[in-house]
Structure 1
Amino acid sequence: MNLEFPKNFWWGAATSGPQSEGRFNKKHANMFDYWYEIQPEEFYNQVGPDTASNFYNSFREDIALMKEIGLNSIRTSIQWTRLIDDLEAGTVNEDAVRFYNEVIDEFIKNDIRPVINLHHFDLPVELYHRYGGWESKHVVDLYVKFAERCFELFSDRVVDWFTFNEPMVIVEGEYLHQFHYPNLVDGKKAVQVAYNIQLASAKAIARFRELNRNPDGRIGIILNLTPPYPKSDAPEDLAASEFADLWLNQLFMNASTLGEFPEKLAAVLEKDGMLWDASQEELTTIKANTIDYLGVNYYHPHRVQAPAVSPNSLTVDWMPEKYFDEYEMPGRRMNVDKGWEIYPKAIYDIGINIRDNYGNIDWFVSENGMGVSREERYLNEAGVIEDDYRIQFIQEHLYWLNKAMAEGSHCFGYHLWTPIDCWSWKNAYRNRYGFISTNIHTQVKTIKKSGHWIKNVAETNQVTLEDTLIKTIENN
């Protein structure tokens, strides 16, 4: 069976500045840079972001490898901490301007579409220490200054812009579940941060529409969408699933595409004394500056059930999880290295939800992928990592994506996380994701079997599936 994809479909991959560039010639530290400085033991093998995959120094060779495996689009980010010298004034660093100009030009020279994101968990740590970071609306305005510089400098060549990557991860990682610095547990701050990030996105979109220098330019946001499947059809489980969806998905999705926060979510937050501080002027800005298109990061689903304890009986710090419990479905397929369930059909469900509930907005898979540890286990005699598991993972997701597209969902691309193995926050290089491997000691980079496979897919716009794999996909 051959899955057919459109002629101009984006076959690409995603990375980020803080995970690929290294800290070379960077004036400011971001939140993770600083966390590594003060607690290196929190990071796998105490490997930090100082070198990452050395993209700052090797971008020409790296882009040539991306070209060699047939990728026609790459998403990366411009680092606030690199581009801006004076964070209050918004003045730029000339070396950073040179670097990003050369990177963009190199992508274009290689017929690779540069897709630029403006924030990938890389808030300048100074702004957290001075103002509380995204807790502060002053920081919102400083972010907008940074975005303005990007549009002024690069929008003559960059068509595709995104304001934030996975804003919910900032909210949960920094303010609820303690996997991003500063590792707080503060529901009130978490809710305000969510609102402030959405306001920052809307304000940046407004400035993009004033400053954009490219008639084809578009701007969106990248959301990690995770369908929360209920344990059963019992009313309590369905209610848990509904709230999980409101919090995890609809909060940013509704505000970004429809210009309004979900009323049911706002009502619950207000009842709990958690609702954000908002002015009518700000809400009007959010309403007036919705996205042109959407990036969707999908890795795993959520499985939820009714909470074991009544939400109204809890006296501990507020958490959205007071309204739902996680549920481990028996027989689920797992990526044991990462601890995430593998459920490709969710990408179909996401696509149909976008079609039916969000105006069938144009969207693409901006991240999808499989982190695997100790990939040297799969090295063959020719020195190539035979990552057949990754090829099958992609095939299964593309099967369901293709089905959603056939049923009218407006998806225009698929990006794997990541083109080249990159540094991954606290996990550092524990798990590898790329089409291209990185030796972190020598910085030698080698195309994996999946890299050779994706080249054929990109050249033909076809994905060939064996009958046995189709049966496996449909039975799961």
Structure 2
Amino acid sequence: MSDSYKFPKDFLWGGAIAANQAEGAYLEDGKSVNVSDLNMYTDKVALHKKSNKGMTTDQIKYALEDKENYYPKRYGIDFYHTYKEDLRLLKEMGMNAFRTSISWSRVFPNGDDKEPNEKALIFYDNLIDEIISCGMEPLITLSHYEMPVLYTLEKHGWLNYDTIDAFVRFSLLVMERYKDKVKYWIPVNQINLIKKETYAHLGYPSDVVDNADNAKWQAMHHELVACAIIYEKAKVINPDFQIGVMNYHDYTYPATTEPETVLRSYQYNQHELVFSDILARGNYPGYILRYFNEHDIKVEMKQEDLDVLKRNTVDFVSFSYYYTSVIDKDSEKEYPNEYLSKNPWGWASDPVGLRLSLNMYYDRYQLPIIIAENGSGSIDELTADHKVHDDYRIDYFKDHLKQIEEAIKDGVEMIGYFPWGPIDIVSCSSSEMSKRYGFIYVDLDNLGQGSGNRYLKDSYYWYKEQIEKWKNQNS
């Protein structure tokens, strides 16, 4: 296997983080508490992950008032203060792109304030300028689990039709401000991940609804309409903006070749793609309308909502890719593939599945593709001389990059590749620091103890070599 990857000349070799997992400074310079700041660290599971039903009002208020337990995402890796040094390490690695989010709870602490928080905007001015000065193309996410908690309690997030206006206002404010600096935008991170991130994504307490399934789909409709309005109005700000849709991609194989099982797998994957279908094609597909009818789900859709979705479709599609799963005809949930190796959290590494997924997306939409996240959490050991010998991470990226190259040879139009957490950050799913993705080690433990120093892993130097080889091929 060659270690020299033949990617397009203008390919984006990036890295991706989220404000809520990295910045810290959770009440600094006017920021309010957001939905991710309620993730308590325990040795089992973050607070709002105890139930896919989300968080109740009482659970939210408990987390807001709790002084005894540790909430890692409130502190992150202190990127709010260390971003210059961190970005320079990524620049030295050779990365030419960087994805992060702009926290709604910094810019509008109450969600719909009359005026934005200027201190927050100055921070993002400086951050984006630093990204550019390091020779990296910014890719900005506008919603990445950062809705203000006060807004969720008072307005119930995306369940409220008025949230369309609030989010559009926030989005257009920052898009206008950075119209000459940022080209690539993702309005909503992992827009289809409503089965695992109900409160963090949709922003309403679970006890304010009677029918949980109906509420999810109604809230998602409002979010989809907001995305379409953003697409339309942002193109007036700058016609050259490239605005995409991003999925959480968990491709699911049929457990057997029994036709009913294959159909079950196909339908499962359809449902994972429904929101990209809507935003890339401009309408609700027939399979989801049938699902609504058969499950008595009644989504209120104004004609003007459907019209704006029809008029405005995305410029590119993107997705996160971590693992694949298996499902059988009677399964409610997917399960791990016995043929694949797994990390300590049970996530199955499947490089060939990435090639399959890239082909599937391109066949389906015929739009350029960005892999917005990819990686595998690992337990890293920092040696006495501050080294991390992570051959397992090198092997993981070797195999996945090879399959991306194969997909490009298949004819897939790729824009860029953004490994998740190029510097260690707090895990989204478990609020751990010990679940590490980065090429750069951050000396903090699960309770925020440590020096905070940054150390370069073996994978840092290996990945730097791959980018250098690619640059030499295209010089």
Give, in whole Å, the separation in 1 of the partners of 2:112 and 2:409: 48
Structure 2 unaligned runs (5+)? 41-60, 445-449
**CA 1:90 to 1:13, structure 2 compared with 1: closer, same or farther past 3 Å?**
farther
Task: Measure how far apart 1:236 and its partner are.
Answer: 1.6
Q: Is the 8 A contact 2:187 2:244 kept in 1?
A: yes
Does 2:41 correspond to 1:18?
no
Q: Is the 8 A contact 1:171 1:194 kept in 2?
A: no
Matches within 5 A, 1:213-362: 216-248=240-272, 250-307=273-330, 321=332, 325-335=333-343, 337-358=344-365, 360-362=366-368
Give, in whole Å, the separation in 1 of the partners of 2:132 and 2:184: 13
| Counterpart code for 1:385 | V
Q: Is the 8 A contact 2:157 2:204 kept in 1?
A: no
Task: Measure how far apart 1:217 and its partner are.
Answer: 2.2
Matches within 5 A, 1:53-202: 53-85=77-109, 87-89=111-113, 91-174=115-198, 182=205, 186-202=212-228
1:364 partner SS: strand
Give, in whole Å, the separation in 1 of the partners of 2:406 and 2:206: 40
Q: Which residue of 1 aligns with 2:370?
A: 364
Task: Measure how far apart 1:180 and its partner are.
Answer: 9.3
Q: Is the 8 A contact 2:243 2:314 kept in 1?
A: yes
Matches within 5 A, 1:204-219: 204-212=230-238, 216-219=240-243
Q: Is the 8 A contact 1:231 1:305 kept in 2?
A: yes
- Sequence identity, in percent? 29
Task: Measure how far apart 1:110 and its partner are.
Answer: 1.1
Does 2:54 correspond to 1:51?
no
Give, in whole Å, the separation in 2 of the partners of 1:201 and 1:171: 20
Q: Alignment partner for residue 30 of structure 1, among 30, 34, 43?
A: 34
Task: Measure how far apart 1:85 and its partner are.
Answer: 4.8
TM superposition score normalised by structure 1: 0.86
Task: Measure how far apart 1:112 and its partner are.
Answer: 1.1
Post-superposition Cα deviations, 1:42-73, rounded to whole Å, max 9, x if no partner, equal 9xx83422221111111111111111111110
Matches within 5 A, 1:412-451: 412-425=415-428, 426-440=430-444, 441-451=450-460
Q: Is the 8 A contact 1:26 1:82 kept in 2?
A: yes
CA RMSD of aligned residues (A): 2.6
Q: Which residue of 1 aligns with 2:57?
A: none
| Counterpart code for 1:4 | K
Q: Which residue of 1 aligns with 2:50?
A: none
Give, in whole Å, the separation in 2 of the partners of 1:48 and 1:180: 20
Q: Which residue of 1 aligns with 2:8?
A: 6
Task: Measure how far apart 1:431 and its partner are.
Answer: 0.3
Which structure shows the bigger proportion of residues in strand conformation?
1
What is the number of residues matched between the two proteins?
A: 438
Task: Measure how far apart 1:239 and its partner are.
Answer: 2.2
1:398 partner SS: helix
Task: Measure how far apart 1:182 and its partner are.
Answer: 4.5
* Further displaced range: 325-334 or 388-397: 325-334
Q: Is the 8 A contact 1:3 1:463 kept in 2?
A: no
**CA 1:133 to 1:268, structure 2 compared with 1: closer, same or farther past 3 Å?**
same
| Counterpart code for 1:306 | K
* Further displaced range: 166-175 or 444-453: 166-175
**CA 1:398 to 1:269, structure 2 compared with 1: closer, same or farther past 3 Å?**
same
Does 2:368 correspond to 1:396?
no
**CA 1:90 to 1:204, structure 2 compared with 1: closer, same or farther past 3 Å?**
farther
Post-superposition Cα deviations, 1:122-179, rounded to whole Å, max 9, x if no partner, equal 111122111221111111210001001111211121111110111222453216x999
Task: Measure how far apart 1:221 and its partner are.
Answer: 2.0
Q: Is the 8 A contact 2:104 2:142 kept in 1?
A: yes
1:4 partner SS: coil
TM superposition score normalised by structure 2: 0.86
Task: Measure how far apart 1:39 and its partner are.
Answer: 4.0
Q: Is the 8 A contact 1:67 1:112 kept in 2?
A: yes
2:419 partner SS: strand
Give, in whole Å, the separation in 2 of the partners of 1:179 and 1:285: 21
Give, in whole Å, the separation in 2 of the partners of 1:171 and 1:422: 23
Q: Which residue of 2 aligns with 1:456?
A: 465
Task: Measure how far apart 1:75 and its partner are.
Answer: 0.2
Matches within 5 A, 1:379-390: 379-380=382-383, 382-390=385-393
**CA 1:104 to 1:8, structure 2 compared with 1: closer, same or farther past 3 Å?**
same
| Counterpart code for 1:418 | G
* Further displaced range: 31-40 or 325-334: 31-40
**CA 1:351 to 1:148, structure 2 compared with 1: closer, same or farther past 3 Å?**
same
Post-superposition Cα deviations, 1:101-134, rounded to whole Å, max 9, x if no partner, equal 1111111111111111101011111221112211
